């Protein structure tokens, strides 16, 4: 009996490599509150990602919640139902009304052609997601935002290291939020960051993530505790040394799946844009009606073989109890998202996935 295969497996460097980092923390006795590793890691990430300013967080969700606070967003925010539930939860947590707009069936990202019809006098912002690390139509979204004077906050939890022809996709919008959760391409166990356009915005966000403290006795805002600890930041520094290698391995798996699945009728792989640097964070396939069995039957067949593919994103956010009564959550408003939630299956992809395991996975799809 072969071992179970999960959809992802966190990339851990050899333990010995982490020991010197721990020794440094132990001898400094600075455990958090913007210590040496926190500062180093912010700097190193800016350089690696190709962005000017960024503020580390203890997780991506607090990053989203704080980004909304930093821009004083209220009223209604247009967002996608086809994402991890934290996207919309960050709005509800700020007492903001999410307004769901359908996705583009080809990219699975928020469909810019549907946004304008959802704008009301209460709309203040758009929160799109670079789903699976495939960049949104950032230009079309910015054009609408400019026309209606809306902010744009990208949930960039999947988009670590993704670049278009001109640079990092994280430069778009007013703010972009990353996640370094254990399941993501780049992990600090738990963690996240807000990418900011200028030093002033970063400083404001730095205050917000530290209870609003500016100095020992001055509190300028009702902030939260969103700080990343030294141990997570140190681990991030170590991970950065291995990220290029990990991305190369992911691209190899992605290439294998694409070539092997190409000729299977009823299986469609999601296409990226050709001039983009991708991170291969996920490998979604669409199980279309001309495939012999349904997505859920294929999912079950995988499980019977000990392969834990995931139905990201099913159910849709709009189908969870705190959202489903909203007008914009109705199925007839979200036909493309509904179909995607029924058809997508994310196959295992991670740097150490062996060629034998990749073959096992492809064989399950082929042998129906
Ligand atoms: C993982 C994820 C989040 C949440 O990030 P955490 O670091 O787990 O809080 C938010 N949005 C999307 C799209 C995600 O995939």
DSSP 294-336: -HHHHHHHHHHTTEE-B-TT-S-GGGSTTTTTSGGGSGGG-HH
Give residue 206's pLDDT: 98
With the C-alpha atoms ordered 247, 284, 252, 128, is the resulting torsion angle positive or negative? negative
237 CA → ligand 1 middle, Å:
21
Distance CA 49, CA 51 (A): 6
CA of 189 to the centre of ligand 1 (A): 13
Nearest CA to ligand 1 atom 6: 60
Tell me, what's the pLDDT at 187?
98
Q: Cβ(273)–Cβ(60) under 8 Å? A: no
Distance 86 CA to ligand 1 centre (A): 6
CA of 155 to the centre of ligand 1 (A): 8
Indicate the SS3 state at residue 197.
coil
Q: Which ligand 1 atom lies nearest to the CA of residue 63? A: 9
Measured in Å, residue 289 CA sits from the centre of ligand 1 at 30
All structural domains of the chain, each given as residue ranges with its CATH number in brackets, are 15-240 (3.40.640.10), 243-366 (3.90.1150.10)
Torsion angle of the four alpha carbons 47, 201, 72, 184, in this order, in degrees rounded to the nearest 10: 10
Tokens of 293: 């069995």
Place of tokens 């990201």: 312
pTM for the predicted model, two decimal places: 0.98
Tokens of 208: 């917000």
Distance 287 CA to ligand 1 centre (A): 25
| Residue nearest ligand 1's atom 8 by CA | 181
Residue with tokens 């800016």, as numbered in its chain: 46
The tokens 């949930």 sit on which residue?
Answer: 155
The alpha carbon of 290 and the centre of ligand 1 are apart by a number of angstroms equal to: 33
User: Which residue's CA lies nearest to atom 7 of ligand 1?
Assistant: 60
Ligand 1 centroid to Cα of residue 84, in Å, is 6
Instruction: Please tell me the distance from the alpha carbon of residue 106 to that of residue 246, in angstroms, as a whole number.
Output: 27
Backbone phi, then psi, for 273, in 5-degree steps? -80, 140
Stretch 171-188: mean pLDDT, rounded?
Answer: 98
User: Can you tell me which atom of ligand 1 is nearest the CA of 61?
Assistant: 9
Confidence of residue 2 (pLDDT cuts 50, 70, 90): confident
Pocket of ligand 1 (CB under 6 A): 59-61, 83-84, 86-87, 129, 155, 157-158, 179, 181, 192
Would you say residue 1 has pLDDT above 60? Answer: no
Tens-place pLDDT, residues 242-271: 999 999 999 999 999 999 999 999 999 999
Is residue 84 within 8 A of residue 63, CB to CB? The reply is no
Q: H-type helices in the chain, by residue range? A: 15-28, 36-49, 60-70, 86-92, 138-148, 199-208, 230-240, 243-261, 295-304, 335-343, 355-366
Ligand 1, from 88, 155, 186, 284: best to mutate by most atoms within 8 Å of Cβ? 155
Distance of CA 186 from the midpoint of ligand 1 (Å): 12
Q: pLDDT grade, residue 73 (50/70/90)?
A: very high
**Spatial CA neighbour of 166 closest among 67, 243, 276:** 276
Please tell me the residue having the least CA distance from ligand 1 atom 5.
60
Nearest to 181 by CA among 320, 81, 63: 63
Q: Does pLDDT of 275 surpass 90?
A: no
> Pick from 204, 185, 307: which is nearest to 247 by CA?
185
Residues 6+ away with beta carbon under 8 Å from 280: 133, 185, 247, 250, 251, 253, 254, 349
Residue of the CA atom closest to atom 13 of ligand 1: 84
C-alpha–C-alpha distance, residues 142 and 140, integer Å: 6
pLDDT one-digit tens code per residue, 101-148: 999 999 999 999 999 999 999 999 999 999 999 999 999 999 999 999
Confidence of residue 305 (pLDDT cuts 50, 70, 90): very high
Tokens of 157: 């939890």
pLDDT digits (tens, 9 = 90+) for 25-39: 999 999 999 999 999
> What average pLDDT does the structure give for the chain?
97
Please, which pLDDT band fits residue 272 given cuts at 50, 70 and 90?
confident
> How many angstroms separate the CA atoms of 70 and 253, rounded?
39
- Ligand 1: atom nearest CA of 90 is 10
């Amino acid at each position: 009996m072969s071992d179970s295969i999960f959809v992802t497996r966190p990339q851990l460097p050899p333990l010995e490599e982490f020991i010197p980092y721990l020794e440094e923390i132990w001898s400094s006795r600075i455990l958090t509150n913007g210590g040496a590793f926190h500062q180093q890691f912010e700097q190193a990430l800016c350089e690696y990602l190709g962005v000017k300013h960024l503020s580390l967080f203890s997780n991506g969700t607090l990053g989203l919640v704080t980004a909304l606070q930093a821009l004083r967003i209220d009223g209604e925010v247009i967002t996608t139902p086809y994402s991890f539930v934290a996207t919309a939860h960050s709005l509800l947590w700020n007492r903001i009304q999410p307004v769901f707009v359908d996705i583009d069936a080809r990219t699975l990202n928020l469909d810019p052609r549907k946004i304008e019809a959802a704008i009301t006098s209460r709309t203040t912002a758009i929160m799109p997601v670079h789903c699976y690390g495939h960049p949104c139509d950032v230009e079309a979204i910015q054009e609408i935002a400019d026309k209606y004077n809306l902010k744009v906050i990208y949930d960039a939890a999947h988009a670590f290291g993704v670049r278009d022809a001109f640079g990092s996709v994280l430069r778009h919008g007013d703010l972009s939020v990353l996640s370094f959760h254990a399941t993501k391409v780049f992990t600090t166990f738990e963690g996240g960051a807000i990418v900011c356009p200028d030093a002033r915005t970063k400083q404001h966000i730095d205050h917000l993530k530290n209870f609003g403290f500016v100095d020992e006795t001055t509190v300028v805002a009702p902030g939260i505790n969103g700080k990343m600890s030294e141990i997570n930041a140190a681990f991030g520094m170590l991970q950065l040394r291995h990220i290029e290698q990990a991305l190369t391995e992911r691209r190899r798996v992605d290439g294998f799946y694409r070539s092997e699945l190409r000729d299977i009728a009823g299986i469609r792989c999601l296409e990226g844009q050709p001039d983009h640097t991708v991170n291969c964070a996920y490998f979604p396939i669409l199980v279309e009606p001309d495939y012999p069995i349904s997505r859920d039957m294929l999912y079950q067949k995988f499980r019977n073989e000990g392969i834990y593919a995931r139905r990201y994103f099913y159910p849709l956010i709009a189908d969870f109890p705190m959202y489903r009564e909203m007008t914009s959550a109705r199925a007839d408003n979200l036909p493309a998202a509904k179909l995607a939630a029924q058809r997508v299956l994310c196959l295992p992809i991670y740097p150490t996935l062996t060629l034998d395991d990749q073959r096992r996975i492809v064989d399950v799809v082929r042998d129906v």
